[in-house]
């Protein structure tokens, strides 16, 4: 189904635009595909940051995915969506005392720690709460061979502990008070675009983790190898499959952890791959303007609705490639030269509000509805939703065409 044209057109007529539409059947398909591409028996975590909609989370829970959360907000939604708190993995480089206190009080018992300070803060708060908890130690391993859209290991990084920092690692892998080390965690990059690249990164992750274990004498109960599984973003395309990945990872684990206990778990995390394909953003063309030889298509969705991190200038514009709801979808083939490539811009009063600097979407008129495919991950909640105070897009969730939920998030003023 994935959000067919008639459904999108009907939903836009009913709820207005900009409108996010998520298809739970696509989430299930991605969940099954990723599981199939990884070693049998692996623990699979959904990284809630990619899309924290409760029905998306609930669907992945039903598919047997655990949840990785990085804030009290994500934790609360995951628990409300049916996750047992003691099964959550709480990660992130900046956990405050207040965050950790709330997480411990809610019953979370496994944390990924990123420094000695992080671990000590957790240990002290666990002691104060009178509870025992477990931690994984996140590593900043060597730089890999491939480029994800954002790399997180190699070089200077706020994430994890440098593998060369033997003193910190020895401390973190020793029990301290009420928190005990149970495993290692690594996350090399997001959106690694080809299977050979992914294989090389996972082989290196396994090698890195095994060297740390060897050097410190630590026997992990779990090695969380992270992810980086790719998905198309705001453009047409299908989810890639990785038929050689499972065997390659199994082989690396066999080689580097030959004498591991039989109950050592291998875990993976994914956000993007699981939810990207499920989401479509429908937006209306508000204006079409010609200026200095360029065409601008002004949409009712800008970086306040999609790709907000690009609005901060930290990432390039999302390169959105929408299709008109009354025309054939664009393919990945180069488009025949249209009457005019257009810049897709949003409604915000800043030249940074750009969804694509130049794209050919064929003949487009004021009032047309455009659909941006593959925006289920890092869509609405990764955007500059507060800038200019437009209402947030409505989010519709359906399951193969049956509407399950319609909501609009809003920023809330709380007087303190
Ligand atoms: C530690 C960690 N796990 C998981 C993810 C999810 O990444 P992706 O959505 O690319 O699968 C991220 C992304 O930033 C991350 O930092």
> Which of the listed residues 157, 161, 269 should we mutate to test ligand 1's pocket, taking the one with most ligand atoms within 8 A of CB?
269
CA distances from 199 to 38, 179, 194 (A): 11, 33, 9
Domain boundary among 234, 249, 276: 276
Kindly report the CATH number assigned to the domain that includes residue 108: 3.20.20.10
Contacts 24+ apart (CB under 8 A), 122-131: 122/95, 122/179, 123/176, 123/177, 123/178, 123/179, 124/177, 125/97, 125/100, 125/101, 126/177, 126/178, 126/179, 127/177, 127/178, 129/101, 129/104, 129/105, 131/104, 131/178
Residue 352: pLDDT band (50, 70, 90) is confident
Give kind and range of the element (H or E) at residue 44. Answer: strand 43-47
374 ligand 1 Cβ < 6 A: no
How many Å lie between the centroid of ligand 1 and the Cα of residue 330? 28
Domain check: are 250 and 133 in the same one? yes
Domain check: are 234 and 314 in the same one? no
Q: Please, which residues have CB within 8 angstroms of residue 348's CB and are 6 or more apart in sequence?
A: 302, 303, 304, 311, 384, 387, 388
Which pLDDT does position 159 carry in this prediction? 86
How many Å lie between the centroid of ligand 1 and the Cα of residue 268? 10
Q: Please, which residues have CB within 8 angstroms of residue 202's CB and are 6 or more apart in sequence?
A: 225, 245, 248, 249, 252
- Residue 310 burial by Cβ neighbours in a 10 Å radius (0-12, 13-18, 19+): buried
Which pLDDT does position 338 carry in this prediction? 47
Domain check: are 231 and 307 in the same one? no
Tokens of 117: 């300070």
Q: What percent of the chain has pLDDT over 90?
A: 79
Q: How many domains does the chain have?
A: 2
Minimum-distance ligand 1 atom for the alpha carbon of 150: 14
Tokens of 159: 């994430």
91 ligand 1 Cβ < 6 A: yes
Q: What is the CA radius of gyration of the chain?
A: 22
Return d(Cα 199, Cα 189) in angstroms, integer: 13
- Residue 169 burial by Cβ neighbours in a 10 Å radius (0-12, 13-18, 19+): buried
How many Å lie between the centroid of ligand 1 and the Cα of residue 184? 16
Q: Output the average pLDDT for the chain.
A: 91
Which pLDDT does position 155 carry in this prediction? 72
The answer to the question of residue 16 being in a domain is: no
How many Å lie between the centroid of ligand 1 and the Cα of residue 272? 8
Domain boundary among 232, 260, 276: 276
Residue 79: how many CB atoms within 10 A of its CB? 18
Minimum-distance ligand 1 atom for the alpha carbon of 271: 9
Tell whether the model's pLDDT for residue 158 goes beyond 70: yes
Domain check: are 201 and 301 in the same one? no
Residue 326: pLDDT band (50, 70, 90) is confident
Tens digits of per-residue pLDDT, 13-50? 999 999 999 999 999 999 999 999 999 999 999 999 99
As a whole number, mean pLDDT of residues 253-260 equals 92
Kindly report the CATH number assigned to the domain that includes residue 322: 2.40.37.10
Backbone torsions φ then ψ of 200, nearest 5 degrees: -60, -40
Domain check: are 317 and 238 in the same one? no
Cα of first residue to Cα of last residue in the chain, in angstroms, is: 46
Which pLDDT does position 146 carry in this prediction? 60
Mean pLDDT check: name the lowest of 11-25, 222-236, 334-348. 334-348
> Are the beta carbons of 346 and 355 closer than 8 angstroms?
yes
> Which of the listed residues 114, 153, 187 should we mutate to test ligand 1's pocket, taking the one with most ligand atoms within 8 A of CB?
187
Tens digits of per-residue pLDDT, 64-93? 999 999 999 999 999 999 999 999 999 999
The answer to the question of residue 176 being in a domain is: yes
Domain check: are 146 and 166 in the same one? yes
Listed residue (181, 299, 170) closest to 234, CA to CA: 299
Which pLDDT does position 337 carry in this prediction? 43
Which pLDDT does position 311 carry in this prediction? 46
Domain check: are 220 and 325 in the same one? no
Tell whether the model's pLDDT for residue 137 goes beyond 90: yes
The answer to the question of residue 257 being in a domain is: yes
Tell whether the model's pLDDT for residue 328 goes beyond 70: no
> Which of the listed residues 224, 226, 378, 382 should we mutate to test ligand 1's pocket, taking the one with most ligand atoms within 8 A of CB?
226
Domain check: are 204 and 298 in the same one? no
Return d(Cα 182, Cα 98) in angstroms, integer: 24
> Are the beta carbons of 67 and 78 closer than 8 angstroms?
yes
Domain check: are 101 and 189 in the same one? yes
Which residue segment(s) compose the domain that 115 sits in?
24-276
Q: Which is more confident, 329 or 91?
A: 91
Domain check: are 254 and 304 in the same one? no
Return d(Cα 67, Cα 75) in angstroms, integer: 9
Minimum-distance ligand 1 atom for the alpha carbon of 190: 10
Instruction: Supply the residues annotated as catalytic.
Output: 349
The answer to the question of residue 416 being in a domain is: no
The answer to the question of residue 128 being in a domain is: yes
Nearest residue CA, atom 15 of ligand 1? 187
The answer to the question of residue 13 being in a domain is: no
Domain boundary among 233, 260, 276: 276
Instruction: Report how many helices (DSSP H) and strands (DSSP E) the chain contains, helices first.
Output: 11, 20
State pTM to two decimals. Answer: 0.93
Tens digits of per-residue pLDDT, 194-228? 999 999 999 999 999 999 999 999 999 999 999 99
Tens digits of per-residue pLDDT, 379-410? 999 999 999 999 999 999 999 999 999 999 99
Tell whether the model's pLDDT for residue 189 goes beyond 70: yes
As a whole number, mean pLDDT of residues 135-155 equals 71
51 ligand 1 Cβ < 6 A: no
160 ligand 1 Cβ < 6 A: no
Which pLDDT does position 309 carry in this prediction? 60
Domain check: are 207 and 308 in the same one? no
The answer to the question of residue 216 being in a domain is: yes
Domain check: are 297 and 269 in the same one? no
Give kind and range of the element (H or E) at residue 84. Answer: none
The answer to the question of residue 319 being in a domain is: yes
179-186/133-140 β-pairing = parallel
Return d(Cα 233, Cα 2) in angstroms, integer: 15
Which pLDDT does position 144 carry in this prediction? 64
Nearest residue CA, atom 1 of ligand 1? 187
269 ligand 1 Cβ < 6 A: yes
How many Å lie between the centroid of ligand 1 and the Cα of residue 68? 9
Please confirm whether the linkage preceding 296 is cis (ω < 30° from 0).
Answer: no
């Amino acid at each position: 189904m994935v959000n067919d044209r008639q459904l999108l057109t009907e939903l836009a007529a009913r709820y207005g635009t900009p409108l996010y539409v998520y298809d739970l059947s696509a989430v299930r398909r991605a969940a099954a595909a990723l599981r199939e591409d990884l070693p049998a028996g692996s623990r699979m975590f959904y990284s809630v940051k990619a899309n924290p909609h409760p029905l998306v989370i609930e669907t992945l829970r039903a598919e047997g995915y655990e949840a990785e959360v990085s804030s009290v907000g994500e934790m609360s939604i995951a628990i409300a969506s049916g996750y047992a708190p003691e099964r959550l993995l709480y990660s992130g480089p900046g956990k405050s005392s207040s965050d950790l206190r709330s997480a411990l009080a809610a019953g979370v018992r496994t944390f990924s720690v990123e420094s000695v300070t992080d671990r000590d803060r957790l240990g002290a708060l666990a002691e104060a709460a009178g509870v025992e908890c477990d931690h994984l130690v996140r590593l900043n391993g060597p730089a890999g061979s491939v480029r994800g859209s954002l790399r997180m290991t190699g070089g200077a990084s706020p994430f994890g502990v440098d593998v060369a920092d033997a003193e910190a690692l020895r401390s973190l892998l020793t029990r301290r008070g009420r928190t005990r080390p149970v495993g290692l965690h690594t996350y090399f990059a997001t959106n690694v675009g080809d299977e050979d690249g992914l294989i090389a990164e996972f082989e290196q992750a396994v090698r890195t983790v095994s060297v740390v274990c060897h050097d410190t004498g630590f026997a992990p109960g779990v090695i969380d190898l992270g992810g980086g599984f790719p998905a198309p973003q705001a453009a047409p395309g299908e989810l890639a499959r990785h038929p050689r990945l499972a065997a390659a990872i199994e082989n690396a684990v066999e080689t580097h952890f030959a004498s591991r206990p039989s109950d050592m778990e291998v875990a993976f995390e994914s956000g993007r791959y699981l939810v990207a394909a499920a989401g479509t953003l429908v937006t209306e063309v508000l204006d079409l303007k010609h200026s200095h030889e360029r065409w601008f298509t002004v949409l009712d969705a800008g970086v306040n609705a999609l790709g907000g991190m690009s609005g901060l200038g930290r990432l390039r514009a999302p390169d959105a490639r929408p299709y008109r709801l009354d025309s054939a979808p664009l393919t990945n083939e180069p488009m025949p030269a249209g009457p005019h490539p257009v810049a897709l811009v949003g409604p915000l009063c800043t030249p940074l509000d750009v969804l694509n600097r130049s794209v050919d979407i064929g003949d487009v008129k004021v009032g047309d509805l455009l659909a941006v495919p593959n925006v289920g991950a890092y869509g609405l909640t990764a955007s500059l939703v507060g800038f200019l105070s437009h209402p947030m897009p409505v989010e519709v969730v359906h399951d193969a065409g049956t509407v399950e939920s319609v909501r609009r998030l809003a920023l809330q003023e709380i007087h303190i």
